[in-house]
Chain A
Amino acid sequence: QQQVKQSPQSLIVQKGGIPIINCAYENTAFDYFPWYQQFPGKGPALLIAIRPDVSEKKEGRFTISFNKSAKQFSLHIMDSQPGDSATYFCAASSDFGNEKLTFGTGTRLTIIP
C-alpha cells in the first residue's frame, strides 16, 4: 500500500523551464513533508521541507506548494538547469521528528540544454 503517491515517474524539461512534481497522501496524521534529491550512485539528500500550517515554502529556485484540504503537495523548480537532473522523492511522516519517513516512488527528472 503506497501511502504517498508521486507523479510523474519521469519528466523531461528544457533548460529554463519549470518542472513540477506532485505528491498526494491519505494519512491525515502526516505533519512533515520533505523532498529529497538523489544523484546516480549517491544517497538521497534533503532539498526542502514544509509543515502543514504553511501553504508555500521557497528555498532558492525550489518551491514547495502545499494544499492541506486536498492532501497534496508539489515541488516546483524555477529556471531549471542541467545540473538539476536527478531523481526526486517526496516523503511524509507523522509525529514530526520520528524516523518513520514514508517515501514516494520517485521522479526521474532530466533537464536538457
Chain B
Amino acid sequence: NAGVTQTPKFQVLKTGQSMTLQCAQDMNHEYMSWYRQDPGMGLRLIHYSVGAGITDQGEVPNGYNVSRSTTEDFPLRLLSAAPPQTSVYFCASRSRQVSYNSPLHFGNGTRLTVT
C-alpha cells in the first residue's frame, strides 16, 4: 500500500519550459488536491478534484492546469514555467467518507526550481 506517490522528487526547469508533476494514489480516494509550499506562506491550494472528470480551482491556480481522467491519477501541468513557480509541490488525497479525524494523505513532495 503505497499511499500517495509523487514523481519526480526534484526537477529543475528553465523559464518557458513545460512539465507535468505526477501524482497517483492507491487508496481509491475521491478527493485529490495540489498544494504548493513556500517559506513563510504555509501551504496554498492550487487545484482540487472531487472525483474523476471534476476539477476546480483553489487559491493560487494561475499558471497551472489539471485533469482527472481516473480516480487514481491527478497530474499537475505547468505549461510555461516561470521563476515564481519555484516551490515544493504536494499532492494530497482523502476519502469522501470523512470524519473529524479523517486526514488528508500527502505525498512526499516535488521540489521544483525554475531558473
Decide if B101 touches A103 in the complex (CB within 8 Å).
no
Task: Please measure, in the bound complex, the distance between the C-alpha atom of A46 and the C-alpha atom of B105, giving whole angstroms.
Answer: 8
Decide if A97 touches B42 in the complex (CB within 8 Å).
no
Number of B residues, CB within 8 Å of A = 27
- Provide the residues of chain B in CB contact with A106, threshold 8 Å: 42
Contact of A43 among B94, B100, B108 (CB under 8 A): B108
- Minimum CB–CB distance from B28 to chain A (whole Å) comes to 16
Task: Please measure, in the bound complex, the distance between the C-alpha atom of A49 and the C-alpha atom of B101, giving whole angstroms.
Answer: 6
Decide if A105 touches B42 in the complex (CB within 8 Å).
yes
**A113 contacts the other chain (CB 8 A):** no
Task: Please measure, in the bound complex, the distance between the C-alpha atom of A41 and the C-alpha atom of B111, giving whole angstroms.
Answer: 10
Q: Beyond the given A4-B42, A6-B42, please list 17 additional residue pairs across the A-B interface where CB-CB is below 8 A.
A: A9-B40, A34-B103, A41-B109, A43-B4, A43-B90, A44-B90, A44-B104, A46-B101, A46-B103, A96-B98, A99-B45, A99-B48, A99-B94, A102-B59, A103-B42, A103-B43, A104-B42
Binding site for A on B (CB under 8 A): 4, 31, 33, 35, 40-45, 48, 50, 58-59, 90, 92, 94, 96, 98, 100-101, 103-104, 106-109
